[in-house]
Amino acid sequence: MPVPCTGAITLNNLCVTVDATRQVAFRTLQQQYGDGYAARRQDGVNPVMETWNVSTPPMPVAQAYAFEAELIALGTRSFGWIPPNETADKQWILDPVAWNWTYSTGDLASLSFTLKRWYR
């Protein structure tokens, strides 16, 4: 199924392939006591960790280099993105700050990376 992307892909209009995956985990702290009793509680004010593994659709290599330059300029900062099937903009970081190139053909490439929800 083709991905409905229009124009060049940037962080402002990040379009991802349909095989994007979302992981959600709840951070907890647990204390184990000697009598077998354990106490658990949530860890922090924002204990829900959300992560997306995404890939861009294939794009001309020149556009992929331009998008990579944007990722490099972003560095460790966050950016706004609306995940698939959601309506609210959330803040995200690349975690780890790394990406992979995949060449579909000699002149088409896609980038894949992991986004982690960032609470400010």
pLDDT per residue, tens digit, the chain (120 aa), is: 456 788 899 999 999 999 999 999 999 999 999 888 999 999 999 999 999 999 999 999 999 999 999 999 999 999 999 999 999 999 999 999 999 999 998 899 999 999 999 998
| Closest-CA residue to 59 (of 97, 105, 19) | 105
Q: Facing residues of 32 across strands?
A: 38
Domain limits of the chain?
A: 21-117
Residue 62, CA distances (Å) to 3, 5, 7, 106, 109 in order: 19, 17, 13, 12, 9
